[in-house]
């Protein structure tokens, strides 16, 4: 396996996902002085460099910033919006060392699209991280291209593991992984938003309602995380333990079922997976 010590990393794009990844990389042992990032504006570069302690190049003031960033690196993480990934890869293709791993964190960009934009034989990895990576509770779906060996996969496991769990999956499962994990933090925020609004309707002030919601969801999630390690059916079991005849939780669930929540959740997740697949098709057609 490649040694983390001295590993040189380029982060192309410094949006929330790449920043979350960077925090995990530093926990994994990557030295900030061995990391270089790129962003669009000079102001963003200055602020991000000051906040994260890494060197940052701005595309608006440094011609070929992305190309300069990947010179001599061992790992290039492309964290831009999906429509721009192939263009970035084409831009840097001739400046990347042949051994450098190229990792995409964008939804919908296939291994084939990445390889087509790079030199033949360049090792590429497609990932789907989620934002809880920033607090050490994330999930990362990972699919390795044909030129990536087991040592490379082990390296990425080690680099991502401080941020959460790494799941090596088939590329055909990426759209479903996005629905299950990539988009899923938004589902929880949606639930929290409505719980907070309901709390206000029950007479609490907004601050108290929001705090009660966040603390309760966090505590329940911790219990679930502990239980699910040994019991994949823990969510259902924990729910059933709380449903007592004539009880308050049962009353809520009866209303949830009447309003179709049990059908709405899987339907929404299916829509998320379908949209991920549609993005993949749009990118493929654009190329």
Q: What is the dihedral of CA 243, 244, 250, 251, to 10 degrees?
A: -160
Residue identified by tokens 């926990």 is: 27
Element (H, E) at 169: none
Lateral strand order in the sheet of 164-168: 55-58, 35-39, 9-12, 75-78, 101-104, 124-129, 138-144, 164-168
Please, what sign has the CA dihedral across residues 69, 70, 71, 72? positive
List the beta bridge partners of residue 75.
Answer: 9, 101
pLDDT at 79: 92
Per-residue pLDDT reduced to its tens digit, 32-76? 999 999 999 889 889 889 988 999 999 888 889 999 999 999 999
Question: 169: phi > 0 → left, psi -120 to 50 → alpha, else beta; which?
Answer: beta
Per-residue pLDDT reduced to its tens digit, 98-116? 999 999 998 889 999 999 9
Whether pLDDT at 239 is above 80: yes
| CATH assignment of 9-174, among 3.90.1150.10, 3.40.50.720, 3.30.200.20, 3.40.50.2300 | 3.40.50.720
What is the pTM (predicted TM-score) of this model? 0.86
Whether pLDDT at 2 is above 80: no
pLDDT at 252: 95
Mean pLDDT of the region 84-102:
95
CATH topology identical between 9-174 and 182-278: no
Whether pLDDT at 175 is above 70: yes
Domain ranges in the chain are 9-174, 182-278
Element (H, E) at 57: strand 55-58
Q: Residue 179 has which token pair? A: 């629905």
Q: Residue 197 has which token pair? A: 């609004």
CA 28 – CA 25 distance, rounded (Å): 5
Q: What are phi and psi of 10, to 5 degrees?
A: -115, 130
Per-residue pLDDT reduced to its tens digit, 117-126? 999 999 999 9
Whether pLDDT at 1 is above 60: no
Mean pLDDT of the region 11-31:
89
- Percent with pLDDT over 90 in the chain: 76
Confidence of residue 281 (pLDDT cuts 50, 70, 90): confident
CATH fold for domain 182-278: ProC C-terminal domain-like fold (1.10.3730)
Average pLDDT of the residues of the chain: 93
The residue ranges of DSSP E strands in 65-190, in sequence order, are: 75-78, 101-104, 124-129, 138-144, 164-168
């Amino acid at each position: 396996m490649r040694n983390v010590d001295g590993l040189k990393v380029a982060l192309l794009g410094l949006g929330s996902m790449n920043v979350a990844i960077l925090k995990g990389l530093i926990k994994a042992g990557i030295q900030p002085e061995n990391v270089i990032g790129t962003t669009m504006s000079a102001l963003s570069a200055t602020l991000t460099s000051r906040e994260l302690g890494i060197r940052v190049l701005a595309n608006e003031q440094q011609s070929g910033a992305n190309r300069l960033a990947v010179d001599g690196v061992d790992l290039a993480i492309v964290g831009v919006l999906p429509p721009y990934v192939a263009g970035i890869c084409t831009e840097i293709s001739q400046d990347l060392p042949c051994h450098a791993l190229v990792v995409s964190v964008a939804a919908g960009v296939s291994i084939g699209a990445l390889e087509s934009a790079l030199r033949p034989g360049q090792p590429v990895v497609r990932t789907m991280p989620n934002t809880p990576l920033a607090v050490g509770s994330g999930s990362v779906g990972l699919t390795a291209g044909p030129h990536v060996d087991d040592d490379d996969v082990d390296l990425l496991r080690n680099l991502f593991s401080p941020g959460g769990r790494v799941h090596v999956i088939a590329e055909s499962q990426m759209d479903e992984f996005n629905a299950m994990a990539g988009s899923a933090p938004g589902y929880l925020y949606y639930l929290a938003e409505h719980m907070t609004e309901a709390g206000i309707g029950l007479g609490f002030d907004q601050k108290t309602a929001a705090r009660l919601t966040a603390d309760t969801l966090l505590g329940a999630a911790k219990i679930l995380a502990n239980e699910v390690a040994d019991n994949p059916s823990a969510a259902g079991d924990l729910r059933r333990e709380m449903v007592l005849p004539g009880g308050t939780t049962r009353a809520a669930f009866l209303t949830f079922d009447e309003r179709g929540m049990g059908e709405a959740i899987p339907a929404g997740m299916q829509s998320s997976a379908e949209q991920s697949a549609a993005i993949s098709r749009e990118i493929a057609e654009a190329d």
